[in-house]
Amino acid sequence: MFKFMSLKESIVKEQIPQHIAIIMDGNGRWAKKRGNQRIFGHRNGVNAVRAVTEAAGELGVKYLTLYAFSTENWNRPRPEIEALMSLLVSTINSETDTLLKNGVCLRTIGDTESLPPSVAAKLKEATAKTSGCNGLNLILALNYSSRWEITNAMTRIAKSVLDGQISPANITSETISSHLCTGGIPDPELIIRTSGEYRLSNFLLWQAAYSEFYFTDVLWPDFDKEELYRAIVDFQKRERRFGKISEQL
């Protein structure tokens, strides 16, 4: 009998992106479609996080960055913010053992020190607990925005110049990269955004210089392993030229 190749089977193992970043969007609309409160969508979004983390680990992706809360998200209604913060804490509580078991190293990018103290403490605890893991690096972008990150990097570079540790003539693009929250982490080859929105919303502006973008109408709570495979298969069909022409590759 003729057998169709599954999406997973069509992935070229030798060309798995080492860093995938995802703008998880559409939780609110998912809930609204079901006549529910927005937080119901956020709660169901956790299932997608679990599925994608598992799939990325199984495929051998080294870094998975998930945009979970932007600095602009503080402008949302207060009850939603509070619900999101408590969801974050309860999810970390329930998932840390699984992360440890699967060798997943939890990390964060963003101004996590300015999060509510209980949230910041919980994050610190979970990142310390999993810091010895050497499987997938699961990076949560929390209280993150790229302009905040770049501004912060500029301030620190300026201080080092004043202290005489760096000379302006020696500032390179590596100097800037290494001062960002993602210092030491390779740029994402693939950035995914769900829910049919076509924008970056202040996410990884510097790091996305040569990323491939994948947009899908799927709302985040409906995103699953198959959707991740679909994105990777699509990514693998692209020709990444980095300014060159086809014939040079």
Residue 69 binding ligand IPE, by CB under 6 A: yes
Q: Which is nearer to ligand IPE, 40 or 63 (CB)?
A: 40
Which of these segments, 17-25, 30-38, 149-157, 175-183, binds Mg ion (CB under 5 A)?
Answer: 17-25
User: Nearest distance from residue 199's CB to ligand IPE, in Å?
Assistant: 6
Query: Minimum CB separation from Mg ion for residue 238, in Å?
Result: 26
* Per-residue contact flags (x/-) with ligand IPE for residues 10 to 49, judged by CB under 6 A: -------------xxxxxxx--------------------
What DSSP designation does 148 have?
H
Rounded CA gap, 206 and 208, in Å? 6
CA distance 194 to 11: 20
CA dist 225 and 205 (Å) reads 26
| 220 part of the interface to Mg ion, by CB under 5 A | no
Selection from 6, 47, 55 nearest residue 221 by Cα: 47
Site for ligand IPE in 161-190 (CB under 6 A): none
Nearest residue (CB) to ligand IPE, 27 versus 53: 27
Q: What is the CA radius of gyration of the chain?
A: 19
The DSSP letter of residue 180 is: S
d(CA 165, CA 188): 30
User: Does the protein bind Mg ion through residue 212 (CB under 5 A)?
Assistant: no
Q: How far is the CB of 168 from ligand IPE (least distance, A)?
A: 34
- x/- mask, ligand IPE, residues 184-223, rule CB under 6 A, reads -----------x-x-x-x------------------x---
Q: Does 227 bind Mg ion (CB under 5 A)?
A: no
The whole-angstrom separation of Cα 41 and Cα 31 is 5
Q: Which does 73 bind (CB under 5 to 8 A by kind): ligand IPE, Mg ion, none?
A: ligand IPE
Alpha carbons within 13 A on the beta-carbon side of 195: 19
Which amino acid does the sequence have at 92?
I
Which has the closest alpha carbon to 210: 231, 178, 235, 229? 235
Residue, CB closest to ligand IPE: 28
> Which residues are known to be catalytic?
25, 73
Rule CB under 5 A: which residues touch Mg ion? 25
